[in-house]
Structure 1
Amino acid sequence: MERMASVMYLKDGFTEEYKARHDELWPEMEQALKDHGAHNYSIFLDDNTHVLFAYLEVESREKYDEIASTEICKKWWAYMEPLMETNEDNSPVSKNLTPVFYLA
């Protein structure tokens, strides 16, 4: 199991909508995450900066990265695009974080 973390950026004024959309995560998107090896996926928000911190555990980074090419993931990105800073393909602008400490 590999641990992954990243930051993403929520646009101002969309906190409630972002949370609502994740509270109602599409079953197909949830299944795609699981099919691509995601476990223990959490997203946290810094209310002051609108920075999102995402943490998940994956079976393999390579397997997980394949989710980006699925139609359901592309559809989810388009759905979330109005709420977040995104790239040209609607994927969220994100920065991977480097692990520096772990306590099991």
Structure 2
Amino acid sequence: MIRKTFTMHLYPGMVEEYAKRHNELWPEMKAMIHEYGGHNYTIAFDERTNTLFGYIEVEDEDLWAQSADTPINRKWWDFMAPVMATNPDKSPVCEDLREVFHLD
């Protein structure tokens, strides 16, 4: 598995809505994540900075990258755009983090 870590940014006051939407994650979105090799997905929130910290394990970087262009993923991005910083295509503004330590 390949471990990926990244940050995203919420708009102020949107953490509860963000959490609600993820707690009600659409079954077809869950299926797509697994179909494209995503596992063990966690998102945490830093209230001081409105920063989300994501962690996901993927089977294959190329396969995972293809998930961005699925219709369900595009629909999810549209749904989430009102609560977080996004790019012009409505994908979340993500900044990859460099892993500096890991222990199993």
Counterpart for residue 4 of structure 1 = 4
Distance in 1 of aligned mates of 2:90 and 2:28: 18
Distance in 2 of aligned mates of 1:65 and 1:41: 15
Residue 48 of structure 1, CA deviation? 1.2
2:104 is the alignment partner of 1:90: no
Corresponding letter in the other structure for 1:37 = G
Percent of aligned positions that are identical? 46
Counterpart for residue 78 of structure 1 = 78
Residue 16 of structure 1, CA deviation? 0.6
Residue 51 of structure 1, CA deviation? 0.1
TM-score of the two chains, using structure 1 as the length reference: 0.98
Distance in 2 of aligned mates of 1:15 and 1:51: 10
Distance in 2 of aligned mates of 1:23 and 1:102: 28
- Runs of 4+ residues over 6 Å off in structure 1: none
Distance in 1 of aligned mates of 2:43 and 2:72: 19
Segments of structure 1 that go 5 or more residues without pairing to the other structure are none
Distance in 2 of aligned mates of 1:16 and 1:77: 17
RMSD of equivalent CA atoms = 0.5
Residue 22 of structure 1, CA deviation? 0.2
2:72 is the alignment partner of 1:39: no
Residue 86 of structure 1, CA deviation? 0.2
Segments of structure 2 that go 5 or more residues without pairing to the other structure are none
Counterpart for residue 66 of structure 2 = 66
Residue 5 of structure 1, CA deviation? 0.4
